[in-house]
Structures are given as structure tokens and as C-alpha cells.
Amino acid sequence: MRIGVLKEIKTLECRVGLVSSIVENLAREGHEVLVEAGARLGIGIADAEYTAAGARIASESEVFERAD
């Protein structure tokens, strides 16, 4: 399954649907995880954390187009 994770668009909200530890579990189980670039920058966590967990960083439009 291809799972998409988008960043919050509401003003002053920094939540995200999946944290990197869950992304790691999903990737280990064979799922592809696409995370929108900058999804957690609002709380000081870089995209590299998601990449290290097995996700691929993508644009918002790519996440919408490709995610199941």
C-alpha cells in the first residue's frame, strides 16, 4: 500500500498524521510511505528523520496523486 502523509494547513497547527517511528514500522512491513516536504518543520523536526525511517519526501501534489 502507498500511504501519504500531509502537513497540517491550519494556521499555527504543527500536527502530522504519522510520526517517524510509525513510518518505520510501515516501511518494514513493505508499505511505501510518502511524506509531504516540511511536514514537521513547524516543531523543528527535519525531513531527514522521515527519510531515515524509510519514507520518501514528496510534494503535496505528488502525495495526493500517488497515495492510496
Residue written as grid cell 518505520: 24
| Helix (H/G/I), strand (E/B), else coil: 17 | coil
Query: Are 56 and 32 within 8 A, CB to CB?
Result: yes
CA 12 to chain centroid, in Å, comes to: 19
pLDDT tens for residues 4-44? Answer: 999 888 888 888 889 899 999 999 999 999 999 999 888 77
CA 41 – CA 65 distance, rounded (Å): 23
Q: Where are the domains of the chain?
A: 2-66
Q: What is the pTM of this model?
A: 0.90
C-alpha cell at 27: 516501511
